[in-house]
Structure 1
Amino acid sequence: MIGSRLLGSGSALPRRVVTNDELAARVDTSDEWIVERTGIRQRYIAGEGETTATLATDAARAALADCGLGPADIDIIVLATATPDNTFPATATKVQHALGCNGGIAFDVAAVCSGFLYALCVADSMLRTGMGRRALVIGAETFSRILDWSDRTTCVLFGDGAGAVVLEAQGEASEGDKAPGVLATRLHADGASHDLLYVDGGPSTTQTVGHLRMKGREVFRHAVVNLSDVLKEVLEEAKVSAEDIDWVVPHQANARILDATAKKLGIPREKVIVTVHEHANTSAASVPLAFDTARRDGRIKPGDLVMFEAMGGGFTWGASLVRL
Structure 2
Amino acid sequence: MKAAEFQSSAVITAFGAYVPDQVLGNDDLERMVETNHEWIVQRTGITERRIASDEQFCSDMIFGAVRDLVSRYDARLDDVDFVLVATTTPDTLFPSMASRVQAEFGIGSCGAVDLQAACAGFVYGLQLANGLILSGIYRKILVIGAETLSKITDYTDRATCILFGDGAGAVLLERSEDGQGSLLGAYSHTTGSGGHHVYCSHLSGSIGSVPMQTSGKIVQNGREVYRWAVTQVPKGIAELLDGCGLGVDDIDWFVPHSANMRIVESICEKSGIPLDKALTSMADYGNTSAASIPLAIDIALKAGKLRKDDVLLLYGFGGGLTEAALLLRWTL
User: Do the structures match in fold with TM over 0.5?
Assistant: yes
Alignment of 1:36-185 (within 5 A): 36-171=42-177, 173=179, 179-185=180-186
Give the CA deviation at 1:7: 1.5
Partner of 2:225: 219
Q: Structure 1 stretches of 5 or more lacking a match?
A: 174-178
Give the CA deviation at 1:17: 0.4
Would the alpha carbon gap of residues 204 and 153 (structure 1) be closer, same or farther in structure 2, given more than 3 Å must change? closer
CA distance in 1, matches of 2:136, 2:70: 21
Q: Structure 1 residues 150-159 or 70-79, which shifts more?
A: 70-79
Partner of 1:276: 282
Would the alpha carbon gap of residues 321 and 90 (structure 1) be closer, same or farther in structure 2, given more than 3 Å must change? same
Paired residue secondary structure (1:123): helix
Asked if the contact 2:8/2:181 (under 8 Å) is kept, the reply is no
Asked if the contact 1:158/1:280 (under 8 Å) is kept, the reply is yes
Listed one character per residue, the Cα deviations across residues 30-89 of structure 1 (whole Å, up to 9, x for unaligned) are 001100000000000100331111111110121233332222131111000000110112
Partner of 2:33: 27
Asked if the contact 1:53/1:92 (under 8 Å) is kept, the reply is no
Partner of 1:201: 202
Asked if the contact 1:203/1:209 (under 8 Å) is kept, the reply is no
CA distance in 2, matches of 1:64, 1:126: 22
Would the alpha carbon gap of residues 265 and 45 (structure 1) be closer, same or farther in structure 2, given more than 3 Å must change? same
Asked if the contact 1:11/1:288 (under 8 Å) is kept, the reply is yes
Asked if the contact 1:163/1:289 (under 8 Å) is kept, the reply is yes
Across the aligned residues of Structure 1 and Structure 2, the Cα RMSD in angstroms comes to: 1.9
Q: How much identity, in percent, do the aligned residues show?
A: 38
TM-score (structure 1 length as normaliser): 0.94
Partner of 1:176: none
Asked if the contact 1:164/1:289 (under 8 Å) is kept, the reply is no
CA distance in 1, matches of 2:157, 2:215: 17
TM-score (structure 2 length as normaliser): 0.92
Paired residue secondary structure (1:73): coil
CA distance in 1, matches of 2:194, 2:205: 20
CA distance in 2, matches of 1:209, 1:106: 30
CA distance in 1, matches of 2:48, 2:113: 31
Q: Structure 1 residues 17-26 or 1-10, which shifts more?
A: 1-10
Q: Structure 2 stretches of 5 or more lacking a match?
A: 1-6, 207-211
